[in-house]
Amino acid sequence: MTTRWFGAPVQRVEDDRLLRGHGRYTDDIDEGALECCFVRSPYAHARITSIDASEARAMPGVVAVFTAAELPFGGVDLPLLIPHPNLTHGRTQRCLASEVVRYAGEAVAFVVAESRYIAEDAAERVQVEYEQLPVVITPEVAARAEHLVHADVPGNIAAEMLQEVGDVDAALASAPHRKKLGFRYERGAASPMEGRAVWARWSEAERKLTVYDSTQSPTSIRGGLAVLFGLPESKVEVIAPDVGGGFGPKIMLFYPDELLVPYAAMQFGRPVKWTEDRQEHFTAVNQERGQVHDVEVGFDADGHVLALSDDFIHDGGAYTPYGIILPIISAAQLPGPYRIPNYRVRFRDMYTNATPTSPYRGAGRPHACFVMERTLDAIAAELGLDRIEVRRRNLIQANEFPYDVGVAWQDGNTVVYDSGDYPELLDRALKLLGPKPPGDSIGMGLGIYVEGTGVGPYEGAHVQVLVSGRVVAATGIPSQGQAHATVWAQVVADELGVDVKDVEITSGDTRGFPWGVGTFASRGAVTAGNAMHVAARMVAEKARQIASDHLEADPADLELVGGQVRVKGSPDRGMPLGAVAVLSNPVRYAFGGGTEAATQFATKPRPGRPLQDGEYPGLEATGYYSPPGSTWASGCHAAYVRVDPKTFRLEILKYVVVHDCGRVINPLVLQGQIEGGVAQGIGGAFYERLAYDSDGQLRNASFMEFLIPYATEIPPIEIDHIETPSPLNPLGVKGAGEAGVIPVGAVLASAIEDATDIPITEMPLSPLKLYELSR
Partner 1 sequence: MRVNGVEHAARNDPRRLLSDHLRHDLGLTGTHVGCEHGVCGCCTVLLDGAPVRSCLMLAMQAEGHEVTTVEGLARDGAPLHPVQQAFHECHGLQCGFCTPGFVMSVVGLLAQNPRPTAQEIEEGIAGNLCRCTGYASIRRAVHRAVELSGT
Partner 2 sequence: MKPAPFKYHAPATLDEACSMLASLEDAKVLAGGQSLIPLLNFRLARPQHLIDINRISDLDRIYVRDGGVAVQALARQGEVEDSDLASRLCPLLTSAVRLVAHRVIRNRGTVCGSLAHADPASELPAVLLALGGHVMVRSVRGERLIAAEQLFKGVFETALAPDEILVEAWFPELVERYAIFEDSRRHGDFALAGVALAGDNLALFGVAPTPVLVDPQDPTADLQPSGDIEATPAFRLHLVRVLTEKALAA
Query: Which stretches of the chain bind partner 2, using CB under 8 A?
Result: 116-117, 120-121, 124, 277-279, 646-647, 649, 687, 689, 691, 699-700, 702, 704-705, 707, 709-710, 712-713, 766-768, 771-772
764 near 684, Cβ under 8 Å?
yes
Please give the distance of CA 66 from its chain centroid, rounded to a whole number.
32
The nearest distance, CB 277 to partner 2, in angstroms, is 4
Number of CB atoms found within 10 A of residue 129's CB? 11
Q: Which does 536 bind (CB under 5 to 8 A by kind): partner 1, partner 2, none?
A: none
d(CA 627, CA 526): 8
Query: What is the β-pairing status of strands 291-299 and 459-465?
Result: unpaired
Query: What is the β-pairing status of strands 718-721 and 650-660?
Result: parallel
The nearest distance, CB 257 to partner 2, in angstroms, is 16
Q: Where are the alpha helices (DSSP H) in 465-523?
A: 484-496
Closer residue to partner 1, CB minimum distance, 112 or 621? 112
The nearest distance, CB 765 to partner 2, in angstroms, is 12
Closer residue to partner 2, CB minimum distance, 115 or 203? 115
- Provide the b/e sequence for 538-569 (b: ≥16 CB within 10 Å): bbbebbbebbbebbebebeebbbbebbbbbee
Number of CB atoms found within 10 A of residue 649's CB? 12
Question: Is 194 near partner 1 (CB under 8 A)?
Answer: yes
d(CA 61, CA 281): 25
Q: Which does 24 bind (CB under 5 to 8 A by kind): partner 1, partner 2, none?
A: partner 1
Q: Which of 1, 7, 8, 28 binds partner 1 (CB under 8 A)?
A: 28
Angle between helix 744-756 and 767-774 (nearest 10): 40
The nearest distance, CB 676 to partner 1, in angstroms, is 4
Q: Which does 191 bind (CB under 5 to 8 A by kind): partner 2, partner 1, none?
A: partner 1
Reference 657, options 679, 678, 642, 683; nearest CA is 678
Cβ-Cβ contacts under 8 Å for 680 (sequence gap 6 or more)? 247, 361, 740, 741
Question: Is 482 near partner 1 (CB under 8 A)?
Answer: yes
Closer residue to partner 1, CB minimum distance, 165 or 285? 285
The nearest distance, CB 707 to partner 2, in angstroms, is 5
Cβ-Cβ contacts under 8 Å for 1 (sequence gap 6 or more)? 494, 495
d(CA 278, CA 276): 7
The stretch among 130-138, 175-183, 240-248, 511-519 that binds partner 1 (CB under 8 A) is 240-248
Question: Is 490 near partner 1 (CB under 8 A)?
Answer: no
DSSP of 582-615: HHTSSS----STHHHHHHTTPPPP-SS-SS-TT-
The stretch among 13-21, 161-169, 177-185, 495-503 that binds partner 1 (CB under 8 A) is 13-21
Q: Which does 120 bind (CB under 5 to 8 A by kind): partner 1, partner 2, none?
A: partner 2
Q: Which does 768 bind (CB under 5 to 8 A by kind): partner 1, partner 2, none?
A: partner 2
Query: What is the β-pairing status of strands 177-185 and 762-763?
Result: parallel
- In single-letter form, the type of residue at position 734 comes to K
Q: Which does 767 bind (CB under 5 to 8 A by kind): partner 2, partner 1, none?
A: partner 2
The stretch among 18-26, 42-50, 386-394, 457-465 that binds partner 1 (CB under 8 A) is 18-26
Question: Is 609 near partner 1 (CB under 8 A)?
Answer: no
- Provide the b/e sequence for 370-407 (b: ≥16 CB within 10 Å): bbbbbbbbbbbeebeeebbebbebbbbeeeebebebbb
528 near 627, Cβ under 8 Å?
no
The nearest distance, CB 768 to partner 2, in angstroms, is 5
Closer residue to partner 1, CB minimum distance, 18 or 80? 18
The stretch among 241-249, 322-330, 332-340, 564-572 that binds partner 1 (CB under 8 A) is 241-249
Q: Which residues pair with 675 in a beta bridge?
A: none
Q: From residue 60, how far is each of 124, 647, 700 by CA, in Å?
A: 14, 54, 34
The stretch among 59-67, 293-301, 474-482, 615-623 that binds partner 1 (CB under 8 A) is 474-482
The stretch among 220-228, 476-484, 491-499, 604-612 that binds partner 1 (CB under 8 A) is 476-484
Question: Is 131 near partner 1 (CB under 8 A)?
Answer: no
Closer residue to partner 1, CB minimum distance, 101 or 670? 670
Q: Which of 139, 188, 195, 508 binds partner 1 (CB under 8 A)?
A: 195
Convert 229-241 into a string of H (helix), E (strand) and C (coil).
Answer: HCCCHHHEEEECC
Question: Is 481 near partner 1 (CB under 8 A)?
Answer: yes
How many residues contact partner 1, by CB under 8 A? 55
d(CA 357, CA 287): 5
d(CA 659, CA 740): 9
73 near 228, Cβ under 8 Å?
yes
Q: Which does 538 bind (CB under 5 to 8 A by kind): partner 1, partner 2, none?
A: none
Q: Which does 677 bind (CB under 5 to 8 A by kind): partner 1, partner 2, none?
A: partner 1
The nearest distance, CB 272 to partner 2, in angstroms, is 17
Q: Which does 646 bind (CB under 5 to 8 A by kind): partner 1, partner 2, none?
A: partner 2
Q: Which does 772 bind (CB under 5 to 8 A by kind): partner 1, partner 2, none?
A: partner 2
Q: Which does 19 bind (CB under 5 to 8 A by kind): partner 2, partner 1, none?
A: partner 1
- Please report, as residue ranges, which positions from 656 to 715 form the binding site for partner 1 (by CB under 8 A): 668-669, 671-672, 675-680, 702-704, 708, 710-712, 714
Question: Is 20 near partner 1 (CB under 8 A)?
Answer: yes
d(CA 617, CA 208): 28
Which residues of this protein are in contact with partner 1, per CB under 8 A?
11-12, 14-16, 18-25, 27-28, 30, 117, 190-195, 242-245, 247, 277-278, 480-483, 668-669, 671-672, 675-680, 702-704, 708, 710-712, 714, 716-717, 740
